C-alpha cells in the first residue's frame, strides 16, 4: 500500500510512518520544513517538502500519484493564532482533498477532533473556538469531494506509551485521553479496511484491543 501523510513531521504522523513502513507499506511524509526530512526518513518513510499553506493542489498531485490513501495529520499546532487554524486545519485539508481527487487517490483519512458538531460555547477561548470551527469545516468540505472519507476524532492526546486498547465508536464517547501511539495504530488498521469509508469515529482510551475495537466499530 502507498500512503501519503500530510503533516508528516507531526507526533502522530511519525508514529504512523514507523508502523506502516515496518509492515512493508510505501510511505511518504509531506513536510513544510526541510530540516524535518531526516526525522521522517528515520521512520523508514520517505519525505517530500511541500508547504500546504502556500502551495496549490497542482503542486501536490505529483506526490500523490499512485497513492492508495492519504492521511491528513497536519495542524497549526500550539501557539498558532486563529487565522492559522483556518489556513492549516481547514484550508490545507481541503487542498489535500482536491489534489487527491486530481491524482485519482481513492481514500482519505482526516484526523479531526471531538466536540465539533456543536458550535463553541460563548466565552470559549478564541483560538480554541477557531480550531473547532476549522476542524468541522474541514470535515464538511472534504466530504463534498469525490473521495471516500474516514474521519477519526481522537480525544486529548498524550505521549504515554501505547496500551494497545481503545474505545472506538461513532461520536458521543466520553472524553478520555488517548496515547498518540494508539491513535497511530488505529489509523494503520483503518487504512487496511475500507469498511471505514464514510464513517466518523471517536477514539478514546479504552479496554478493547485495537483490532477488536476497529472490527466492532466497522461491523
Asked if 181 and 162 touch (Cβ cutoff 8 Å), the reply is yes
In this predicted structure, what is the pLDDT of residue 50?
95
Q: What percent of the chain has pLDDT over 90?
A: 88
Tens-digit pLDDT profile for residues 125-174: 999 899 999 999 999 999 999 999 999 999 999 999 999 999 999 999 99
Q: Which residues pair with 31 in a beta bridge?
A: 49
Q: What are phi and psi of 195, to 5 degrees?
A: -65, -15
Q: How confident is the model at residue 113 (pLDDT cuts 50, 70, 90)?
A: very high
Q: What are phi and psi of 111, to 5 degrees?
A: -85, 120
Asked if 113 and 121 touch (Cβ cutoff 8 Å), the reply is no
Per CATH, the homologous superfamily of domain 2-218 is NAD(P)-binding Rossmann-like Domain (3.40.50.720)
Amino acid at each position: 500500500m502507498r500512503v501519503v501523510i500530510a503533516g508528516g513531521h507531526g507526533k502522530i504522523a511519525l508514529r504512523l510512518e514507523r508502523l506502516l513502513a515496518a509492515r512493508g507499506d510505501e510511505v511518504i511524509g509531506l513536510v513544510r520544513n526541510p530540516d524535518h526530512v531526516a526525522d521522517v526518513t528515520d521512520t523508514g518513510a520517505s519525505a517530500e517538502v511541500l508547504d500546504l499553506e502556500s502551495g496549490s493542489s497542482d503542486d501536490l498531485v505529483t506526490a500523490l500519484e499512485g497513492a492508495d490513501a492519504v492521511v491528513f495529520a497536519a495542524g497549526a499546532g500550539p501557539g498558532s493564532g486563529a487565522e492559522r487554524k483556518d489556513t492549516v486545519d481547514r484550508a490545507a485539508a481541503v487542498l489535500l482533498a482536491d489534489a487527491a481527487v486530481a491524482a485519482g487517490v481513492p481514500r482519505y483519512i482526516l484526523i479531526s477532533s471531538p466536540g465539533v458538531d456543536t458550535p463553541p460555547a460563548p466565552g470559549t477561548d478564541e483560538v480554541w473556538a477557531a480550531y473547532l470551527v476549522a476542524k468541522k469545516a474541514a470535515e464538511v468540505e472534504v466530504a463534498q469531494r469525490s473521495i471516500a472519507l474516514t474521519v477519526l476524532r481522537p480525544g486529548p492526546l498524550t505521549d504515554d506509551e501505547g496500551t494497545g486498547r481503545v474505545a472506538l465508536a461513532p461520536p458521543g464517547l466520553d472524553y478520555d485521553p488517548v496515547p498518540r501511539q494508539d491513535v497511530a495504530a488505529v489509523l494503520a488498521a483503518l487504512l487496511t479496511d475500507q469498511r471505514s469509508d464514510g464513517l466518523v469515529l471517536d477514539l478514546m482510551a479504552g479496554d478493547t484491543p485495537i483490532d477488536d475495537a476497529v472490527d466492532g466499530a466497522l461491523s
